[in-house]
Amino acid sequence: MAGLRGRRQKAVRVCFGAAMVVCGIAAGTGMPSGAAQAQVPARIGTCVATTIARIGTRFSGRLVKPQRDGLDEGTSVDLKNGVYGISYAYVEAVARSRVGDRAITCLVALPKGCPKGDDRGKMYTTTNLRTLDSWTLPDSQHMCGGA
């Protein structure tokens, strides 16, 4: 790193949380300014710093743990940079998060063989920097070409 003194480093290889995703993030002072937070990872293995903007179920704005009757409304999470994650199941790592928590989100998979204009099904692994919990969720309830 001595050769990088006096220059801003473009990317850092890091590993976060239980998912152990290796990804590159914008380096510098830790969390980037608002301009960098607007970025959505575009290539597999790239990551950006952001914050959690909303946590809820697939149907409501409040995430609730499933009751014994088995009713599970799933999980959804919005990040400030525009990344959205959703699951039919309750995701404990998301439930332990709070709106405003800083996070790193990495694009880990892109859908293949999709109809033109249907880009649903991107997979993102997100790590909450307060809890160090990670989760991997798609950006849609259905993959491209699906319902």
Q: Is the dihedral of CA 21, 77, 51, 9 positive or negative?
A: positive
Question: Residue 100: what pLDDT?
Answer: 96
Task: For residue range 27-69, list pLDDT tens digits in order.
Answer: 333 444 444 445 899 899 999 999 999 998 776 666 667 666 6
Question: Between 46 and 141, where is the model more confident?
Answer: 46
Does residue 127 sit within a domain?
A: yes
Smallest Cα–Cα separation from 48: which of 125, 135, 118, 121? 125
Question: Residue 45: what pLDDT?
Answer: 94
Does residue 146 sit within a domain?
A: no
Question: Residue 70: what pLDDT?
Answer: 64
Does residue 39 sit within a domain?
A: yes
Domain that holds residue 8: 2-138
State the Cα–Cα distance between residues 77 and 66, nearest whole angstrom. Answer: 17
Q: Where are the alpha helices (DSSP H) in the chain?
A: 34-37, 92-95
Task: For residue range 81-138, list pLDDT tens digits in order.
Answer: 999 999 988 899 999 999 999 999 999 998 888 888 877 789 999 999 999 999 999 9
Length of the chain, in residues: 147
Count of domains for the chain: 1
Does residue 12 sit within a domain?
A: yes
State the Cα–Cα distance between residues 24 and 15, nearest whole angstrom. Answer: 9
Question: Between 59 and 8, where is the model more confident?
Answer: 59
Cβ–Cβ under 8 Å, residues 81 and 50: yes
pTM, two decimals, is 0.70
